[in-house]
Amino acid sequence: MDWFSSHAKPILDSIIYSVLGTLILCGSVWFVQRILPFSTKKEIEEDQNTALGIVLAAFIIGLSLIIAAAIQG
């Protein structure tokens, strides 16, 4: 039990928190795409809206940093 608590448990905790953080990030991006009054896919791919791509990338990076900080404690 001592080996598990010192080696395997931190690895298992990291995997669980990584999956949880990824799910929260994906859910947040999905939610933002649903509340916007336009199609982000159409705006970025077809209309070549670079500004929207930059704003969405900044949102994802910022949210990722918040999730990482919350996981680290």
pLDDT in tens, the chain (73 residues): 687 778 888 888 888 988 998 999 999 999 999 999 999 989 999 999 999 999 999 999 999 999 888 878 6
Name the phi and psi angles at 48, rounded to 5: 55, 45
In this predicted structure, what is the pLDDT of residue 14?
84
How far is 56 from 36, CA to CA, in rounded Å?
12
> pTM (2 decimals)?
0.75
Encoding tokens for residue 27?
């859910």
The pLDDT of residue 73 is 66
